Structure 1
């Protein structure tokens, strides 16, 4: 974890939690007294480095603060984000202008450009800045938190590590697994705190009516008690005893929303990861407390573009968190398995027919390479011997006859 005190009121950085303190930090960073610290204007108040650093710190505090920075840059940072800028048509050379004009292609292209410009002016471009955290949203612990099965992402990690979460019907205890579209996640209801009675003593504020004790002012006089005994009151309807108790935390309503890429069934405490998050004009599917395509996201992206790792060795690839997309691809194509190379290519499996043929071809190729190498070495040795003989003859003293 990046910092044990993630709800620090002095730093006021929102995180993935339903805590009232986190809600207070969110208010301070959006409309409260600290909102101006993350509002960068065209002035010399901050350098570019300071703006990028503050943006990176604020964004990472919410999106995966429990992920180490080195791990985030290596495995959870995408290569690029979608380019949604409008494309302008490029016409052909001068020798084809007459033909293009005759076919009315230039007029059609101009009409399409005008329609695209009008749509962008009306709706705006898609906020793709938040899509830099797509890989973080695919994590199993973040997915459980987005499904509202846990009041914080740290509680979701605890449920996964302790074996209360199942992935596609089997217990899965690795919280860093990245899901693939179609994966189903189910949580044990007995482990969810929403279905358990909250701890702590009862008082007159939070105790139910059946437990609350009457005050002295509310105590009835003996005459009223006698009248109550004479006049029987109708019995209240009995409450159903087979209902599951549900205790929602306080101040939880701002966080009760489900992203569009998740299909949740609260009756069975399960959810399906339908597809990867995306964005459309004016809307981003990844929840974030900041502007999805504002200056904060752009500065954070610029920070990571300058400091991302440039290569991945085989030892690093062996420590890569599980990616369910690659696992599903391997299950669908049993004759192919993933190799640990930077290109993410697929090679035939050794036990299949195609794998055996490829393995035999590689062996034959290595054998031919060894024979060719030995022949080249022999030629080199012969040339070296001839050169030594010539030098010896030239260095020998000349004896006249």
Structure 2
């Protein structure tokens, strides 16, 4: 099963999920023992090992729900924004870099413009454009895996029409609607080992009854309002990116624009620094192993791109 051992504490790989186990793994990758693994300032690991570790972490968060071949062919390395400020290089450093990148010796003045950095065209291949990732980022699903299941099972509408392709990359202006019956936040809470039915009933009563009669409003007395129950440990993950416009009364989200990235700023949600070593080393890994030749057969298998 694809979802088996997703939150294994030994590997401690952060995922796109709101579970308490994932929050614990995020903490361990930040302050715990596994954080030493990505401290590349003083390490005895080879450059290949450093790149592989960085690639493993980036893929676990941004693309473990995508086939490996599809991920590295259509999404990487343009997924990784190079937002580091450009530093002046000497002629010797530039020659060595071009030699490592297997570029021709004669480099014209416009060589910098051909660097593989994020720009308007590169944004077309970003996983944040995927419909399942958009649903998760809009806080309409507990995890990207739940969002993917919603799409595959036909419980999602794209611009008012049923859509079942989770690989679709949205275009600015697309509206995604989710069936309220499959959003767990809107469903009655089930009994847990810690709380009895009487305790849940008291909490629900507190949510429905205002604190005082002076503060009561017609909306507070309206029993037709759907209760909203957030899961435990949800507060660290509750945020909506700037490129999404969410309407919770209608359970829909509008993909307003593509996420942007520039030196010192990136709108792509990630647990790793956009200008850090993990992103840089993963970019170098995929820039070496990413397939470059795309035949007609491969182009026919490209994920749906709505431009």
- Displacement of 1:21 after TM fit? 0.4
User: 2:106 is matched with which residue?
Assistant: none
Q: Computing the radius of gyration over CA atoms, which structure comes out larger, 1 or 2?
A: 1
User: Structure 2: how far apart are the matches of 1:29 and 1:266?
Assistant: 32
The residue that corresponds to 2:196 in the other structure is 203
TM-score by length of 2: 0.77
Deviation at 1:310, TM superposition (A): 2.0
Work out the CA distance in 2 between the residues paired with 1:211 and 1:132: 44
Q: 1:153 aligns with which of 135, 144, 148?
A: 144
**Is the counterpart of residue 37 in structure 1 residue 37 in structure 2?**
yes
Map of 2:236 onto structure 1: 254
Q: Which residue of 1 aligns with 2:297?
A: 315
Structure 1 ranges of 4+ moved more than 3 A: 78-88, 131-134, 237-240
**Could you tell me how far apart the structure 1 residues matched to 2:82 and 2:271 are?**
21
CA distance in 1 between partners of 2:62 and 2:198 (Å): 36
The change in CA–CA distance for 1:294 and 1:197 in structure 2 (over 3 A counts) is same
2:299 is equivalent to residue 306 of structure 1: no
Displacement after TM superposition at 1:239 (Å): 4.7
**Aligned residues of 1:76 and 1:135 also touching (Cα < 8 A):** yes
Q: For residue 189 of structure 1, what is the aligned residue in structure 2?
A: 180
Q: Cα deviations across residues 238-268 of structure 1 (Å, max 9, x unaligned)?
A: 9532121111001100100011111111121
CA contact (8 A) 1:128 1:284 kept: no
Q: 1:338-353 maps to which residues of 2 (within 5 A)?
A: none
Say if 1:2 and 1:68, in contact at 8 Å, map to a contact too. no
1:2-401 correspondence runs (5 A): 4-43=4-43, 45-77=44-76, 135-200=126-191, 202-203=195-196, 206-209=199-202, 239-325=221-307
CA RMSD of aligned residues (A): 2.9
User: Could you say if the C-alpha distance between residues 311 and 206 of structure 1 is closer, same or farther in structure 2, counting changes exceeding 3 Å?
Assistant: farther
Equivalent position SS for 2:202:
coil
Residues 165-196 of structure 1 deviation map (CA, whole Å, 9 limit, x = unaligned): 11011010110001111111111112211110
What's the CA shift string for 1:281-311, capped at 9, x where partnerless? 4331011011111000000000001101121
Shift of the alpha carbon at 1:64? 1.5
Unaligned runs of 5+ in 1: 89-126, 213-233, 326-401
